[in-house]
Amino acid sequence: MNVSTSLRVRLPAFVFVLEVVMIALYAVFVTYDDNANAKMQNNETNPMDNSLYRDYPYFADVQVMIFVGFGCLLAFFRFYGFSGMVFNFLTATFSIQWAILMQGFFQFYYNGKIHLGVINLLNAEFACAVVLISFGAVIGKTGPVQLLVMALLEVPIFAVTEWAVLKYIRINDAGGSILIHLFAAYFGLGATFVLYRPSLNKGHAKEITSYHSDILSVMGTLFLWVFWPSFNSALTLKGDDQHRAVLHTFIGLSSSTITAFALSAVFNKRGKLTMADIQNVTLAGGVTVGASVDMMISPVGAYVLGIMGCTACFFGYRYLTPFMARRLRIQDQCGIHNLHGLTGLISSTAGICAILLATEETYGPSMYQIFSHRAPPEGDPKLLELQQLIPGLKPGLGRTAKEQALYQVAAIFATIAVSTVGGLLTGFVMNLSFMASPSDEGCFNDEVFFDMPSDFDSAEELKTNMSSDEKLEMSSTNSKV
Amino acid sequence: MNVSTSLRVRLPAFVFVLEVVMIALYAVFVTYDDNANAKMQNNETNPMDNSLYRDYPYFADVQVMIFVGFGCLLAFFRFYGFSGMVFNFLTATFSIQWAILMQGFFQFYYNGKIHLGVINLLNAEFACAVVLISFGAVIGKTGPVQLLVMALLEVPIFAVTEWAVLKYIRINDAGGSILIHLFAAYFGLGATFVLYRPSLNKGHAKEITSYHSDILSVMGTLFLWVFWPSFNSALTLKGDDQHRAVLHTFIGLSSSTITAFALSAVFNKRGKLTMADIQNVTLAGGVTVGASVDMMISPVGAYVLGIMGCTACFFGYRYLTPFMARRLRIQDQCGIHNLHGLTGLISSTAGICAILLATEETYGPSMYQIFSHRAPPEGDPKLLELQQLIPGLKPGLGRTAKEQALYQVAAIFATIAVSTVGGLLTGFVMNLSFMASPSDEGCFNDEVFFDMPSDFDSAEELKTNMSSDEKLEMSSTNSKV
Amino acid sequence: MNVSTSLRVRLPAFVFVLEVVMIALYAVFVTYDDNANAKMQNNETNPMDNSLYRDYPYFADVQVMIFVGFGCLLAFFRFYGFSGMVFNFLTATFSIQWAILMQGFFQFYYNGKIHLGVINLLNAEFACAVVLISFGAVIGKTGPVQLLVMALLEVPIFAVTEWAVLKYIRINDAGGSILIHLFAAYFGLGATFVLYRPSLNKGHAKEITSYHSDILSVMGTLFLWVFWPSFNSALTLKGDDQHRAVLHTFIGLSSSTITAFALSAVFNKRGKLTMADIQNVTLAGGVTVGASVDMMISPVGAYVLGIMGCTACFFGYRYLTPFMARRLRIQDQCGIHNLHGLTGLISSTAGICAILLATEETYGPSMYQIFSHRAPPEGDPKLLELQQLIPGLKPGLGRTAKEQALYQVAAIFATIAVSTVGGLLTGFVMNLSFMASPSDEGCFNDEVFFDMPSDFDSAEELKTNMSSDEKLEMSSTNSKV
């Protein structure tokens, strides 16, 4: 066992320092938002109108996705189940409390305070999802201190990108295809590029699954699948927009799922199904509908997007991931580039098409709510006219469809650029010598970081159960998430 | 390994053809319903009044039941966990997208379009539940292509039955005891009758559970148990009706659960508990309260129904299932006839009693909402009188309690007849030679359809762990779902 | 195998007798509350205002915690997974139906009837949580009949305590730190004191975990973690109070979780993480914020409480639990005293501080809603003044902050006293000879109460996999829940 992986000093030091910092920052900056503040309640407040009841159901669903869904999905390695599930728990918890502060400073800060409500928690869970997706690229070859450092750096970089894109470029991205999935994918690729381990390209004896870890991982997939409509619709406008987001996500996932089964069978020599496909490729549709999830893309549009995303994702796993590992020194352990990057690009493109095709004929006047930057600016007589049809319509920027489309393109490139650079820098920090990184030998092995129960004996089981040929065969089917 | 079980051509062919068909049908026929259509929003629309907020919470709960609950429950075989969980995933996904179309044509079709909202998804999940219940009868001896074919045929037969019963016979069946459970049970029996395999009556060496598969299956039971009140109340009238449906379902499940434990112990020679009882019989109460779940049956009524359903279900597993297998050539693998058929019959009978006993004294004027077919017809002066008490009461058919009861009886027989015949026909199609059906040898074995992880070795484990006596003993305790 | 553990007569006898009693009591006493009663609906009733829609989402979340969360968490023993999960199922189901009656008589009884709605079920699930926490103290050394007897006695003792404290002492305890957690912890300690088994102090060969049982148990923790905000906020006032309860619970759990990881690493000789800490200590923050969860303790207050509770809980597991077992004959199997007792005491103290510090400046006039006993009594002119600011404010007792604090102290001592005595008495009854208690040998072994699948062979596996040294080492790390 490599002595340098002991967490005895490093992990507590990190946690306790950060806790002191957070206590200071929470004490000075964080207060309640009006919906959570007793003082703001008066005789005109109806308790049932509290924002809690609009946000909490979606928050609860996303909670299950983050902690149970991701947790089970990432427990797919045979000797790395503790690590997958438990590091996910640790990283997620830390990311959320850190994101409350970081996003708070950028998005919820006024009168010298961050105003906290369940809506902040929901936003913070999305920031957390970003970190967990990036985690997928480096799972197995990183320790908990490295992951916390990744979260420590990724969350503020994400928060500033999110803020800049939403405030200055101003885009439509209800399901987060650009800001969440593309950001997370390229950040993860940047980090894993720096953490490149040549020896792992030959396959690692422990880089395998087991019967139980595969089932556990499918359970994670199912929890993500089931609640994905809540994820994609959580931050849309209320009413018909959110309704469409639910429909499109469900339909996209559905078509993506059956496509994944078909592709899995057709590209298997013996015509069998591969669990890694079912654990990952089935979910591609959820990402692919993201950028246009609240638009009038029509049900069949969502269906086709699901198939397209799934297909890209499947071939990404098959050809692109091995290529990147061998030629570009990018070891994308779970293939996040396929599930979040390629699908994110398709989704962003579809979003641009939907923006270009949007007309008042299809959307009615509420087009200026969904595409809020296309609403006429303050003072424009058309604004007053529209406000009679839609009371409360906010003035926009008066952009045309083409202008909005160009801003979307700008946001895509900006996000990819910032996240890649951020990932590279974060990778360098994660690679510093006192980060308790496991040795090449110790990768994919719970024993490095956990006290193990007595029935766990990775070495012996491996000897008994498999020949070295099998090892190599197995390790090539393991790209996940 | 039997070459004919390769999915390489068959599964993709089925999926891709169906996808083309669905894209065409979705493109031509499916549009948004008013609650999901941006154009329908105007200055009188309150976004929070969108039907999404009434339907989505129930939809989300049913999602968990369908994908996680059924998925885990059906993963109870030791060497068939991948298949149980993953075929459930595939079949469910396909069934829902197909049911959106089929039910759409019958129930949501006007102006030449199927109007899509979350309420359609919810209805489609019920159609999907029907398919998954029937799946329970043939699990272990069918492949994924056969299951997709089953869904392909069962969904439209179900949709047309549902439509005909609701439109022409017009019954009360809020929890779906007749339309969901009876239909699914007898359809499944019909199909399994055709798929009869004499050799399986002697027990199959792999028809056993393992420690982990039993625990996984109980988890599935728990997810079904926990969300069953949402299942039974999802389609009731809002308000007190839905409230009662939640209460009755919970109480019925509760009494059924403790009864199942007691019966399990009393009929075990050594006074021990049998996991198959806990996985299945505990749930009987949820079905048994179904047909009368929104009526004023009183809490004690639900309690007694739970006990009755559980008892019938338990003895069904013990005596009826083996009898049907040996004498009637009906191999009901999971005993769906006990959990859904017998309980469905009790439930239907209880529903009829509740209808016969319903009086205005107990229900007040809202009796004519719950038993909407008993409301006075258009033009009847009593209707106007009632509409003053209950604004928005719709005219009915002016049926008496006895008339309504007779229609319920008619619906029960019609449903059983159609579903049995439909199941038989479907069984014949599933039995065609190019359906990649596993050989008798290959039943209950994941290896036939999946690339397996290296720790899976069904043959060896069996040799080491059990004598042939044990095999037979085990296989007799395996009836589930 | 000890013959006396057969459930063949005892379990059914218990269940059937209780069912007869319950049918009689439900028939005579239980009716619908107004929100579930068809007769109470009239032309002024808006179905969407039904209390169902305020209560059911929280009820559903708590359902998952009780059945799935606790069920998985308690399945942490290697050879006791069936028992942990299934006895939890049985005990919970029985407790809830029994609590509906017991709490019904004390809290929902008028006009000679118990009025039943989802709110009763929610309250009953809290009573059930009390029983399940106490179960944690005696898990492994008790059989199902003993557990049902425990529930039979604990539920009414809890119901009467709850009623007396809420009606006569009148306290603030939204998250149930006093009434749920302290009660459950000291009741459990009382019972386990009577059930003391000297031989278990040396460690039991089967008192160990396995790789899969540890993962299953973490899943249980995650489900509890994810839905804990619903648990703590379910019974608060609606609006900003409930909003704060969600925020505080989430923040408290977050800080508690990262602290648990840090402490786990720092106190492990080899700097590794211990799964038992992650399964249990992470949750301490949820209990610790309980008593003040709806007050204006500020976000940083919740953060600090999470750290404090976690620290106390961690050291409790490390030093107090072994001490109690060796010196005080209190074998607290899962360490419920750490997770519910110590944290409950900190929480109660924090609640008292929050009460003493509460001012109108911070809370505005709604202070008299949260601290309802501080509202001016009927007839006080200040009441009329306040009612203009907050319509519907109910008259209170006119207590000062200090008076309320003293009542809180009284409630804490009263609750601990009653629960300890109740636990001792219940322990005596559980210890009676016909309760099918397992022998010392048969502890922590599913085989005693279940028909086991053929791959379960506790004896053989133990021989193969571990030396006796390992056994002792393992058994010392097993305190949970």
Nearest CA in chain A to C458: A455
In angstroms, rounded to a whole number, what is the distance separating the alpha carbons of residues A468 and B6? 27
pLDDT band at B480 (very low <50, low <70, confident <90, very high): very low
- Which tokens hold the place of C414? 């009263």
B36 touching chain A per CB within 8 A:
yes
CB atoms within 10 A of CB B105: 16
* Record: contact C388-A43, CB cut-off 8 A: yes
Q: What is the pLDDT of residue A4?
A: 76
pLDDT tops 70 at residue C214: yes
Q: What is the pLDDT of residue C481?
A: 42
State how far residue A23 is from chain B, nearest Cα, in angstroms: 36
Of A6, A71, A96, Cβ closest to residue C270: A6
Of A37, A81, A94, Cβ closest to residue C258: A94
Q: What is the pLDDT of residue B391?
A: 83
Strands (E) located in A92-207: 109-110, 113-116
Contact between B294 and C29 under an 8 Å Cβ cutoff? The reply is no
* Record: contact C239-A26, CB cut-off 8 A: no
Q: What is the pLDDT of residue A31?
A: 97
Nearest CA in chain C to A100: C251
Residue owning tokens 């500020």:
C298
- The CA–CA distances, whole Å, from B320 to B328, B335, B413, B463, C67 equal 10, 9, 21, 32, 31
**Would residue C334 count as lying in a domain?**
yes
Instruction: Give which of C215, C264, C471 to mutate to test A binding, by max A Cβ within 10 Å.
Output: C215
Of A7, A23, A67, Cβ closest to residue C273: A7
**Would residue B424 count as lying in a domain?**
yes
pLDDT single digits (tens) C363-416: 999 899 999 999 999 999 999 999 888 888 899 999 999 999 999 999 999 999
Nearest to A276 by CA among B451, B73, C211, B89: B451
pLDDT band at B192 (very low <50, low <70, confident <90, very high): very high
pLDDT single digits (tens) B401-450: 999 999 999 999 999 999 999 999 999 999 998 899 999 999 999 999 99
- The CA–CA distances, whole Å, from C288 to A114, B470, C317, C415 equal 24, 50, 16, 17
A60 touching chain B per CB within 8 A:
no
pLDDT single digits (tens) B91-110: 999 999 999 999 999 999 99
* Record: contact C274-A52, CB cut-off 8 A: no
pLDDT single digits (tens) C429-452: 999 988 999 999 999 999 999 999
* Record: contact C265-A212, CB cut-off 8 A: no
pLDDT single digits (tens) C282-318: 999 999 999 999 999 999 999 999 999 999 999 999 9
Q: What is the pLDDT of residue A460?
A: 56
pLDDT single digits (tens) C164-202: 999 999 999 999 999 999 999 999 999 999 999 999 988
Q: What is the pLDDT of residue B459?
A: 62
DSSP string over B57-101: HHHHHHHIIIIIIHHHHTT-STT-HHHHHHHHHHHHHHHHHHHHH
Contact between C206 and C438 under an 8 Å Cβ cutoff? The reply is no
Q: What is the pLDDT of residue A479?
A: 44
State how far residue C112 is from chain A, nearest Cα, in angstroms: 32
In angstroms, rounded to a whole number, what is the distance separating the alpha carbons of residues C121 and B229? 12
In angstroms, rounded to a whole number, what is the distance separating the alpha carbons of residues A445 and A171? 42
Question: Residues with Cβ < 8 Å from B392, sequence gap 6 or more?
Answer: none
Which strands sit side by side in the sheet containing C113-116, from one edge to the other? Answer: C30-32, C113-116, C109-110
pLDDT band at B389 (very low <50, low <70, confident <90, very high): confident
In DSSP terms, A273 is beta-bridged to B450
Burial class (CB in 10 A: 0-12, 13-18, 19+), A166: middle
Average pLDDT, chain C: 93
In angstroms, rounded to a whole number, what is the distance separating the alpha carbons of residues A162 and B67? 33
* Record: contact B219-C19, CB cut-off 8 A: no
DSSP alpha helix (H) spans, C139-182: 144-164
Burial class (CB in 10 A: 0-12, 13-18, 19+), B138: buried
- The CA–CA distances, whole Å, from C472 to B317, B417, C204, C272 equal 43, 63, 8, 19
Which strands sit side by side in the sheet containing B30-32, from one edge to the other? Answer: B30-32, B113-116, B109-110
Contact between C300 and C238 under an 8 Å Cβ cutoff? The reply is no
Compute the CA torsion angle B401, B404, B408, B414 (nearest 10 deg). Answer: 150
Task: Tell me the percentage of chain B whose pLDDT exceeds 70.
Answer: 94
What CATH number is attached to the domain comprising C21?
1.10.3430.10
Chains in contact with chain C (at least 3 beta-carbon pairs closer than 8 A): A, B
* Record: contact C242-A50, CB cut-off 8 A: yes
Average pLDDT, chain B: 93
C90 touching chain B per CB within 8 A:
yes
Question: pLDDT means per 10 residues in chain A (481 residues)?
Answer: 76 97 98 94 86 96 98 96 98 98 96 96 98 97 97 98 95 95 98 95 92 97 98 96 98 98 96 96 97 97 98 97 95 96 97 96 92 93 90 91 96 98 98 92 95 82 48 43 41
pLDDT band at B468 (very low <50, low <70, confident <90, very high): very low
B 129-148 residues inside an 8 A Cβ radius of C: none
Burial class (CB in 10 A: 0-12, 13-18, 19+), A39: middle
pLDDT tops 80 at residue B473: no
**Would residue A351 count as lying in a domain?**
yes
- The CA–CA distances, whole Å, from B212 to A444, B221, C75 equal 23, 14, 11
Strands (E) located in B378-470: none
C93 touching chain B per CB within 8 A:
yes
pLDDT band at C463 (very low <50, low <70, confident <90, very high): low
Contact between B183 and B49 under an 8 Å Cβ cutoff? The reply is no
Q: What is the pLDDT of residue A461?
A: 54
DSSP string over C126-137: HHHHHHHHHHHH
Nearest CA in chain B to C211: B212
**Would residue A43 count as lying in a domain?**
no
In angstroms, rounded to a whole number, what is the distance separating the alpha carbons of residues C73 and C276? 10
pLDDT tops 50 at residue B481: no
* Record: contact B212-A214, CB cut-off 8 A: no
pLDDT tops 80 at residue C471: no
A 388-447 residues inside an 8 A Cβ radius of B: 388-391
B56 touching chain A per CB within 8 A:
yes
Contact between B429 and B153 under an 8 Å Cβ cutoff? The reply is yes
Strands (E) located in B60-218: 109-110, 113-116
**Would residue C481 count as lying in a domain?**
no
State how far residue C61 is from chain B, nearest Cα, in angstroms: 9
* Record: contact A299-B43, CB cut-off 8 A: no
**Would residue A308 count as lying in a domain?**
yes
* Record: contact C451-B268, CB cut-off 8 A: yes
In angstroms, rounded to a whole number, what is the distance separating the alpha carbons of residues A87 and C265? 13
Nearest CA in chain B to C2: B270
Q: What is the pLDDT of residue B462?
A: 55
Range of the domain at B117: 3-38+50-475
A474 touching chain B per CB within 8 A:
yes
Q: What is the pLDDT of residue C460?
A: 55
B166 touching chain C per CB within 8 A:
no
Number of domains composing chain C: 1
**Would residue A221 count as lying in a domain?**
yes
Of C37, C57, C451, Cβ closest to residue B240: C37
Single-letter amino acid, residue A426: T
Chains in contact with chain B (at least 3 beta-carbon pairs closer than 8 A): A, C
* Record: contact A282-B89, CB cut-off 8 A: yes
**Would residue B291 count as lying in a domain?**
yes
Name chain C contacts of A20, Cβ cutoff 8 Å.
Answer: none
Nearest CA in chain B to A464: B455
C 104-123 residues inside an 8 A Cβ radius of B: 116-118, 121
